[in-house]
Chains A and B, each alone.
Chain A
Amino acid sequence: MSDKVKVTIDGITVEVAPGTTILNAARQIGGDIVPPAMCYYSKLEGSGGKCRTCIVKVSKGSEKDPRPMPKLVASCRTTVMDGMEVMNITSPEVIEARSGVVEMLLINHPLDCPVCDQAGECDLQNLGYEHGLQKTRYEFERRTFERIDIGDKIQLHMNRCILCYRCVFTADQITNKRVHGILNRGDHSEISTYIQTAVDNDFSGNVIDVCPVGALTDKTFRFKNRVWFTKPIDAHRDCPTCSGKVTLWYKGEDVLRVTARKDVYGEVEEFICNTCRFDKKKTADWVIEHPTHISDTSVIASNHYETLKPLPVIQNNEKLKEANRIELEKTAKF
């Protein structure tokens, strides 16, 4: 007897630990069958269930009770049962419902990607490409909010927010005092501090990394560059506050911004402190490791490793030179 449970997603069977959600089981399989997740964040307890983009069809409940579930379920918050069968991209019903959800997420979104710093690494943008309509059916004025600064380093652009609550969970779970939250209700809900106050905390900058859209952006990077023109390099420093493991985003010799390292699902590996994020923007502050691995499907990858003249930081680092050579060969194969 194995203490693992078997679940089949889009025809692919995987064994996972009991208590695993459908979404995480799918992530263990990987690839196209992984449902998109806009609000779930594995590092944040209680997150998920809200955006509804990860809905899937459970065509068989379990070995014991094979009845299908009556409605589509949020895969991020539904745990697998032994023998469960799930349909994601193989179910037209799921694809249709997901398109419906994406449409809902976009009707009040400003679609200001051309001036949004998140463009290129925006989950909503990716989702819109895959599931969005050519033309909006929404013929009313989109709701607008004033842009505000929460603290001197973070800008809140509420128009773009999809109310995933990740930043609220982040403030609750990794800072000692939450000063921003969700105010009002329904489609008037907004992220706000209510009274004018600065979000001032060693770890507050992480709300930028968890934001799936461009609602919370790094003011120190504002309009500096498009992310696909910058080059991500993993680096670390001996930081007394956090792990100090980051990604530096270079343009030429300049570090334009610092973020936490993100995995293939856009989740940070470890949260970093504000000092690392906002104050250490010189190459000299860091021990350079290697270029960040960027998925080939990302627009960020489109501008990478094409240069024959490596960045100065790479010229001086044996490890990076070797990594670059491998990447270059890989690209040359296409």
Chain B
Amino acid sequence: MLKVEEQQPVAFSAALLEKCAEIVSRYPEGKHKSALLPILHEVQAELGWLSANAMDKVAEYLNIQPIEVYEVASFYTMYFLKPQGKYMLEICRTGPCCLVGAEKLMDHLEQTLGVKEGEVTPDGLFSWRGVECLAACGYGPVLQIGPEYTFYENLDKQKLDDLIQDLRKK
């Protein structure tokens, strides 16, 4: 169970609120809870992760109980309930990608970044994790980076090193 010690107020930008309003308009009246998943994506894109305060704010916006948001956010793998690196490298670890070397790439990623799966590099730039099938099995190994989930296919060590270099320079 989470102890909320610091109460950092969370503010949603005007652009985010506008986006949320548009999302809510997609559903019939009274069915605005449907907006929960898309809004959580938007909030995470803006704040980097979903703090308890951010989720409470979403609950307030949708007029639902905070627990309903926690339940949903913790069910789906894309929502980060802890802060992550600026770039979260997610590499597919499921069968077909492993047939073409995903496991070796994950080892390489761990060595290159110097942090274990789920941890953040000291400079706050990177974290990485293995994720389940990304539905690109014919182009494996594959990797994605949120919040727009940019996709990198047919990876090898060289391409991965180049990608990390590029991201560092950004």
Which residues does A use to contact B, with CB under 8 Å?
Answer: 146, 148, 177-185, 192-196
Q: Which of B11-19, B64-72, B94-102, B141-149 forms part of the interface with chain A?
A: B64-72
Residue numbers in A under 8 Å from B24 (CB-CB): none
Q: What is the CA–CA distance of A182 and B71 in the complex, to the nearest angstrom?
A: 6
Contact A185 B75, beta carbon cutoff 8 Å: yes
Residue numbers in B under 8 Å from A192 (CB-CB): 1
- Greatest chain A CB density within 10 A among B3, B4, B68, B74 is at B74
How does the 8 Å CB contact mask read for B1-43 relative to A, with 1 for contact and 0 for none? 1111000000000000000000000000000000000000000
Contact B2 A185, beta carbon cutoff 8 Å: no
Mark out the residues of chain B between 64 and 108 whose CB falls within 8 Å of any chain A CB in the assembled complex.
65-68, 70-71, 74-75
- Greatest chain A CB density within 10 A among B1, B3, B4, B71 is at B1
Contact A184 B74, beta carbon cutoff 8 Å: yes
**Contact-residue bracket for chain B:** 10 to 19
B58 interface residue, CB < 8 Å from A?
A: no
Q: What is the CA–CA distance of A146 and B66 in the complex, to the nearest angstrom?
A: 22
Contact partner of B74 among A178, A185, A193, CB < 8 A? A185
Q: A179-B65, A180-B67, A181-B67 are in contact. Are A195 and B74 (CB under 8 A)?
A: no
Contact B1 A148, beta carbon cutoff 8 Å: yes
Q: A194-B52, A195-B52 are in contact. Are A181 and B71 (CB under 8 A)?
A: yes
Residue numbers in B under 8 Å from A193 (CB-CB): 1, 67
Main secondary structure of the interface of A (DSSP, over half): loop
Contact A194 B75, beta carbon cutoff 8 Å: no
Contact A178 B4, beta carbon cutoff 8 Å: no
Residue numbers in B under 8 Å from A180 (CB-CB): 67
Contact partner of B1 among A177, A181, A182, A195, CB < 8 A? A195
- A184-B75, A195-B52 known; 5 new pairs, CB 8 Å cut-off, are A179-B67, A180-B67, A193-B67, A194-B70, A195-B4
Q: What is the CA–CA distance of A179 and B71 in the complex, to the nearest angstrom?
A: 11
Which 4 A-B residue pairings sit nearest by Cβ, starting from the closest?
A194-B70, A181-B67, A183-B74, A181-B71
Instruction: Give A180's nearest chain B residue, CB to CB.
Output: B67
**Distance (whole angstroms) from the CB of B12 to the closest CB of chain A:** 20
Contact A196 B1, beta carbon cutoff 8 Å: yes
19 intermolecular pairs with C-beta atoms under 8 Å apart: A177-B65, A178-B65, A179-B67, A180-B67, A181-B68, A181-B71, A183-B70, A183-B75, A185-B74, A185-B75, A193-B67, A194-B52, A194-B67, A194-B70, A195-B2, A195-B52, A195-B66, A195-B70, A196-B3
Q: What is the CA–CA distance of A184 and B2 in the complex, to the nearest angstrom?
A: 13
Q: What is the CA–CA distance of A183 and B50 in the complex, to the nearest angstrom?
A: 15
Contact B68 A196, beta carbon cutoff 8 Å: no
